[in-house]
Chains A and B, each alone.
Chain A
Amino acid sequence: MTQRNGSYLSFDNVSRRFGAVTAVDGVSLGIAKGEFVALVGASGSGKSTLLKMVNRLIDPSGGNVDLGRQNVEDIEVSALRRRIGYVFQSIGLFPHMNVGQNIAIGPRLSGTSLSPDRIGELLSLVELEPDMTSRMPDELSGGQRQRVGVARALANDPELLLMDEPFGALDPVTRDALGERVLALHREFGLTTVMVTHDMAEALLLAERVLVMDAGRIVADETPAALVAGEGGEIAQALVAVPRHQAERLAELSR
């Protein structure tokens, strides 16, 4: 496990039970400022639950989650969430607001309004034209919608970006392009990013650190290079085997 002292985001023996089911089982973990961490695992491994305990969409049954040395439960929940960018699979654009209003919603909640220039700037960060601002969500493609979702998450200048299967519903080309874009933004703004995904290839290509979860526990914590080199144990290697096998097949085809 990584050294937890000096961590920006840390989990201390965090558990979450839903009735008889233990979704997260005593996880301790530290994430440093500026890291891009991927949480990988099969469905039901507890990765989304762990992520949502950071912005308190779910509260832990036991243990503490600290953000910048402060327990997240000591921060007023709306204020906490406004400090954190959140992107998730079903995107959740507000259907009755146009693109500009969707992007500006975070600042609006805190009582400030975004200038049209700032909205245009956020749109160009996610490679959309500034004149998109007056479009309604149902006029956009899936990829454009998630780009707006990312722009909305960045509107409050967050330090931490949480992403829950952010590209899961997108076609492969869009998915690849948007992944690269998010990585570039992560670097440009010095964000700390935690991304939940079930796609090991995506995790290996975007993150600098990959956590593998199984049955509510973290079973591997490695760099992508180490995982590709065969580290991380059986469960992690079973997940790495899928993209490796695909890569080998593709290499054979091109021979």
Chain B
Amino acid sequence: MNGLWDAILGLGDQLAAHVLLSASAIALGIIVALPLAVWASRSPAVSRASLSFASLVQTIPALALLALFFPILLSLRAVFGEGLPTLGFLPALLALALYALLPILRNAVTAQANLDPGVIEAAHGVGMSFRQRLLLVEAPLSAPFIMAGIRTAAVWTIGAATLATTIGQKSLGDPIFAGLQTQNWVLVLAGCIASAGLAILADSLLGTIERGFRERRRPLWLGGLAAVLLGVGAAFFAQFGGDDEDRVVIGAKGFSEQYILARLIGQRLEAEGFEVEYRDGLGSAVAHSAAASGEIDIYVDYTGTIWTNQMKRTENPPREQMYREIAEWEDANTGMEVLGRLGFENAYGLAMQRETATFGEFNSIVDVAQRGQGMVIGGDPEFFERPEWIAVRDAYGLRFAGQRNFSPTFMYNALRSGEADIIGAYTSDGRIVADKLVILDDPLGAFPNYDAVLLLSPQASRDEALKAALMPLIDAIDVEAMREANYSVDREEDKLSFDEAARLLAERAGL
């Protein structure tokens, strides 16, 4: 229980970011919904159109809506210029505001439609102008209903904002996704408790305002409003109080090794006097473009991933040549600098349980292609979409009885429980040794190299002090040290936190 308490207390930064994101999204939702509701009350066509649109948005899964804003904003760069952020706060804000729209709009429209016609006739009869009718009659009489809509929107938004983590916006989703990744349920629970607690608090404060409006008790709604503003203000100060202009933003994709390496880099930089923050849980493509656009300053990627996914290359050159070409390509196309290789490789490979492999005499992928048609293959959600996999599949003519997606952690459990017979594994994963797995030989060399490389955003590549602080990491980490660190957070018992694992790795690497 102490661990849970510590985990919750450690979420201050995420909590502040979560409050700011949710409050901004709800505020934007209100700013859009209220004028729309006034317009809708004067035009049935507008009422129908806006409510159908808001309902339609609501049917899109929140995660998909968040993800969709990346390409939308990317295409809008044609209009607003290259400075338009495509990840992080802006897309999260827009998606959540769209989500908040429906309950506010629906309640506002319903409140207007349900106003006593006698009262409206009286407002006309005494000679109120449009503005006077709105401010003196319609707004005060609709306020409690609109407030109820805002309450619903707030609870939804605070819940959905945890998903903003996936598009690189800090939120209370950070511990949830990190915990899910490593089966660290204390972390998941801490994130859930914090986000649920925040939702309950917001609901009760907004409920106080609603009651104040309904009972026409000014001190009540003024008090509630003051408490809400105070909370948002405190979050704002916590986020922007310090000068964060100089902060170095370290990105990490959504698996254990990335979280650990990000902390390793962060700890080094902090020791050198830099201020750092983390953007965890990014998708592969998201991380690369986030660094290219400067939203993150540093992250670790893998040569094969860049080669196939960003450069769209299919051939498989020798290690040194691939590295050189990648460095040149990044310099020419994104302005990013490949600072160097960390010293280990995290390749994709096909892995089986040692016993099964020995028993069935599966030694290389060729054997699987010949005799493995009855097997079920498991992979992480990205795996089967990756060009590397497609290249391997086609090179060997692989065919399976079934194909299943697992989150990386659950994939190993699936292999153990027999839900999958063979998996697309990572060679630096600590569980390969721990779970007694074998990586099948790749005689055709169809899987490319996956040397871990340190990438710097165009801005960060001009910071000599930063580069000097990072240089000791180059060629410092061997695959055994990485596996051990990965296993220390992935194992089921006695898990280390990412920070602890990073310190362990630093020690093993002699840093």
Contact = CB atoms under 8 A, between A and B. Distances in A.
Interface residues of B, number: 20
Nearest to B143: A96
B127 A88 contact: no
A105 B124 contact: no
Interface string A79-119: 11110001010111111100000000110010000000000
Contact of A79 (B118, B126, B127): B127
B124 to A, nearest CB: 6
Nearest to B128: A109
A66 B180 CA distance: 77
A49 interface: no
Given A94-B137, A96-B140, A96-B216, A78 B129 contact: yes
Contacts of B126: 81-82, 86, 105-106, 109, 152
B125 A92 contact: yes
Contacts of B132: 109
Interface residues of A, number: 21
Interface string B94-127: 0000000000000000000000111111111111
A113 B123 CA distance: 18
Contact of B127 (A78, A91, A93): A78
Given A78-B128, A91-B122, A94-B122, 4 more contacts: A92-B118, A92-B119, A105-B136, A109-B127
A81 B137 contact: no
Contacts of B375: none
Contacts of B276: none
A30 to B, nearest CB: 24
8 contacts: A57-B125, A81-B124, A82-B127, A91-B118, A92-B120, A94-B137, A105-B136, A106-B126
B228 interface: no
Pairs of residues from A and B, 10 with the lowest C-beta to C-beta distance, nearest first: A92-B122, A90-B118, A81-B127, A82-B127, A86-B125, A92-B118, A78-B127, A96-B140, A106-B126, A78-B129
B143 to A, nearest CB: 9
A152 B127 CA distance: 12
Contacts of A91: 118, 122
A57 B127 contact: no
A86 B127 CA distance: 10
B214 to A, nearest CB: 10
Interface in B133-181: 136-137, 140-141
Contacts of A77: 127
A152 B119 CA distance: 13
A45 interface: no
A26 B216 CA distance: 48
B122 A93 contact: yes
A108 to B, nearest CB: 8
Interface string B392-407: 0000000000000000
Interface in A43-59: 55, 57
Nearest to B117: A90
B122 A57 contact: no
Nearest to B141: A96
A90 B137 contact: no
B119 A106 contact: no
| B-side interface mostly | helix
A55 B125 contact: yes
B121 A57 contact: yes
A95 B213 CA distance: 13
Nearest to B122: A92
A77 B117 CA distance: 19
Interface centre among A57, A77, A80, A109 (most CB of B within 10 A): A109
A92 B124 CA distance: 10
Interface string A55-78: 101000000000000000000011
A161 B126 CA distance: 12
A91 B126 CA distance: 12
B140 to A, nearest CB: 5
A80 B125 CA distance: 10
Contacts of B141: 95-96
Nearest to A79: B127
Contacts of A106: 126-127
A57 B118 CA distance: 13
Contacts of B123: 92, 94
Contacts of B122: 88, 91-94
A160 to B, nearest CB: 13
A88 B125 contact: yes
Contacts of A152: 126
Contacts of B116: 90, 92, 95
Nearest to B132: A109
A90 B121 contact: yes
A85 B216 CA distance: 29
Contacts of B216: 96
Contacts of A86: 125-126
B14 to A, nearest CB: 41
B125 A81 contact: yes
A106 B129 CA distance: 12
A88 B128 contact: no
Contacts of A92: 116, 118-123, 125
A3 B168 CA distance: 81
Contacts of A93: 119, 122
B120 to A, nearest CB: 8
A170 to B, nearest CB: 15
A79 B127 CA distance: 7
Interface string A195-227: 000000000000000000000000000000000
Contacts of A79: 127
A80 B129 CA distance: 12
Contacts of A80: 127
Nearest to B137: A94
B436 to A, nearest CB: 74
Contacts of B128: 78, 109
B25 to A, nearest CB: 30
Contacts of B127: 77-82, 106, 109
Interface centre among B116, B118, B127, B136 (most CB of A within 10 A): B127
A85 B119 CA distance: 16
B124 A57 contact: yes
A167 to B, nearest CB: 15
Contacts of A55: 125
Contacts of A81: 124-127
Contacts of A90: 116-118, 121
A95 B119 contact: yes
A130 to B, nearest CB: 22
